[in-house]
A and B are shown apart, each in its own frame.
Chain A
């Protein structure tokens, strides 16, 4: 644990990060920007897993394993989402949300 820092301060930082991600997720109009906001939200949750493991249950490692799995799933999700975005750009020449109105081309 970090000397002189309580768990409340770190949880405050991660909550602010989470809500900045939510704000970006709703206000952005571009698919790649929305993907970046999802990354912010996922990172905030990963820090929460690690911090709660370290501060409250330091003799087990479950939080670290879960955060490794979250990072792996997030990497897979990003790769798939970007391939979908590139394919969509080939079909309709745009990555704006308002142009994406058909599921089938």
Chain B
């Protein structure tokens, strides 16, 4: 049963990822990306990381996709057809990507992974305690650094998106 679900999810992820990078309509391409992200959260549900699946759904499917749709609406006409690369360039890059994929797959399949059979369920409590622990192996410092990074990027995004127009107008009145 889980096997069948995994194959369906893998099929959805790969087909919609390819549709997302090759579609000529901008908004459709964003929606295909949404399907890819939901399929990835399905994989997290399958391996029992419920917290990570919830993060994937809220941050990516809820936040990043809405931001992308907003920016597409702001800068494009909705039915605008994208300009594609030249067909020779696309074929060349496709062949280069396939060669890279072949290198990856031969490396992966020639390596012996020592798989530990388990069915441990990770609770949110374990993740929270690990993030906040300050003993060896704890992650309190990166956790705090990430919060500062989020604050700085939020302030930076507001300042950059506001542009120079508002600032110069304020200087003129002074």
Contact = CB atoms under 8 A, between A and B. Distances in A.
B168 interface: no
B75 A20 contact: no
A80 B44 contact: no
Given A30-B82, A36-B29, A36-B30, A12 B108 contact: yes
Interface string A9-21: 1111101111111
Interface residues of B, number: 84
B130 A37 contact: no
11 contacts: A29-B82, A29-B83, A32-B72, A39-B37, A39-B64, A40-B17, A47-B43, A67-B52, A76-B149, A79-B153, A89-B74
Contact of B90 (A27, A75, A78): A27
Interface string B6-18: 1000100110011
B17 A6 contact: no
Nearest to B86: A27
B154 A23 contact: no
Nearest to A67: B52
A6 B17 CA distance: 22
B60 A24 contact: no
B52 A33 contact: no
Contact of A47 (B40, B93, B101): B40
Interface of A: 1-13, 15-24, 26-30, 32-33, 35-37, 39-40, 43, 46-47, 50-51, 54-62, 64-65, 67-69, 71-80, 82-87, 89-90, 95-96
Contacts of B165: 90
A6 B117 CA distance: 11
Contacts of B74: 86, 89
Contact of A20 (B21, B44, B126): B21
